[in-house]
Structure 1
Amino acid sequence: MLMHHLDHLLQHYGYGLVGVIVMLESMGAPLPGESLIIGAAIYCATTHRLDIAWVVTAAVIGAIMGDNFGYLIGRSVGFRVLARYGRHVGLTPERLTLGRFLFRRHGGKVVFFGRFIAILRTFAALLAGANRMPWHSFLFYNALGGIGWAGGYTTAAYLLGNQAEKLSGPIGLAVGSVAAVVLLAAFVFLKRNEKRLTAEAQQAADREEAASQRHHSDKSAARR
């Protein structure tokens, strides 16, 4: 049923659908950009109705453009607005704290590697803008991440789809089972690490808040 709907959408909207959905997800909208590019790549491999090179191009352009729009939005509205309204798009206070913590420690690496992590992929651009990351640095890491993520995932899924077409019976079932286990393990790993990083970020934020309060107390005492 799902593949039927995807087939219908890709037949009617093709490369534009891939580019727009990936762009909107990169801007902060909770959309399945990664699932779409993988599905589109497998669609290319099994039906040959779309050209994989153009799917890759649409995904890369959408990723880079969406991140730049997201960066501008984050830079314009800042942390106060994100903290107040971010929960409506899944940007909870905990994730906002995690984002600030990660950007302070790792900067550009968050933009690049965030492309490959579902939680960060949606919010990295917004947080980069809100953190006032220099635009030229953001653009460099964003372009690298967009090319590596969109190009890498799409090509890998296309090659896997080509191979899956040649497999049948017990071998095909075994390959599908292994792929499902790997995806499940990756999901569990990322969720556990998000919780660990969030706890670490919250501890760092608490220490900074305590240090700031001590600083203000010392200044008040000095004035007296």
Structure 2
Amino acid sequence: MHVQEWLDTIPAVAIYALVAGVIGFESLGIPLPGEIVLVSAALLSSQHGDVNPVVLGICATAGAVIGDSIGYAIGRKGGRPLLAKLGRKFPKHFGPAHIATAERSFEKWGMWAVFIGRFIALLRIFAGPLAGVLHMPYWKFLTANFLGGIVWAGGTTAVIYYLGIVAEDWLKRFSYVGLGAAVLFGVGSMLFMKRRAAKVAAAEPEAVVAGD
């Protein structure tokens, strides 16, 4: 069943809770289709008056901010051992070179890494925990997290809502298009990170030799 068709069968209150919950758990570090659920719910709100787009945007923003904050707390408490554990379970994604690349990104971009991460599939899942592990000051994290959540969740809701009004027929297939785009973007992001990590791993032995 189409995501939007399934959402159409449940009450508006349940839709608000579902959107907040899925986005919250995704931001916590669990790979869930938060963006697809939000897009489908926003599209539904443009077709049915029962789902208020303003309330939907607020719930999505709350889920994003709260989920990321919990992820930050988990990452800060778990620290490096958490990264080491993830590295053992998922070496292709959380190997030492990948973590080094992520750490440099946070050191270089700081708050922007959290803000921009809200718009990138993989970073949306791991930005909170990584920021905690890397001990980013919480006030900086909260500021970037809050602004990113508002712009991403509120902006997505508003854009899809108004597009849904003027292009209802075309947007009935948008969730699948969005899913395909998210998958392609996610694969591209992983390949990019893999290449960067490989370069870092190759450069480290050279640095050791030069140091000797």
For this structure pair, what is the TM-score category when the shorter chain's length is used for normalisation?
Answer: 0.7 to 0.9
Change in CA separation of 1:157 and 1:10 when aligned onto 2, cut-off 3 Å: farther
2:76 is equivalent to residue 75 of structure 1: yes
- Please tell me whether residue 153 in structure 1 is matched to residue 156 in structure 2: yes
Could you tell me whether the CA contact under 8 Å between 1:101 and 1:201 is conserved in 2?
no
Letter in 2 for 1:134: P
Give the Cα separation in 2 of the matches to 1:5 and 1:75: 37
CA distance in 1, matches of 2:88, 2:31: 12
Contact 1:83–1:96 (CA under 8 A) maintained in structure 2: no
Partners of 1:34 and 1:51 lie apart in 2 by: 18
With over 3 angstroms needed to count, the CA separation of the structure-2 counterparts of 1:25 and 1:86, relative to structure 1, is farther
CA separation of 1:19/1:186 partners in 2, compared to 1, >3 Å: closer, same or farther? closer
Structure 2: any 5+ residue segments left out of the alignment?
A: none
Q: Which runs of no fewer than 5 residues in structure 1 stay unpaired?
A: 166-171, 219-224
Matched pairs, number? 209
Residues 123/89 of structure 1: CA separation in 2 closer, same or farther (3 Å cut):
farther
Q: Is the 8 A contact 1:101 1:204 kept in 2?
A: no
1:92 to 1:178, Cα distance in 2 relative to 1, 3 A: closer
| 1:85-164 equivalent positions in 2, closer than 5 A | 85=86, 92-94=93-95, 95-164=98-167
Identity across matched positions, percent: 36
Contact 2:45 2:52 in 1 (8 A): yes
Structure index of larger Rg: 1
CA RMSD of aligned residues (A): 3.0
Deviation of 1:195 after TM superposition, in Å, equals: 1.5
Q: 1:133 to 1:213 in 2, by over 3 A?
A: farther
Q: Letter of the aligned partner of 2:75 in structure 1?
A: G
What is the TM-score normalised by the length of structure 2? 0.83
In 1, distance between residues paired with 2:88 and 2:160?
32
* Pair 1:27 & 2:28 matched: yes
**TM-score w.r.t. length of structure 1:** 0.79
- Displacement of 1:200 in angstroms is 1.6
- Letter matched to residue 195 of structure 1: L
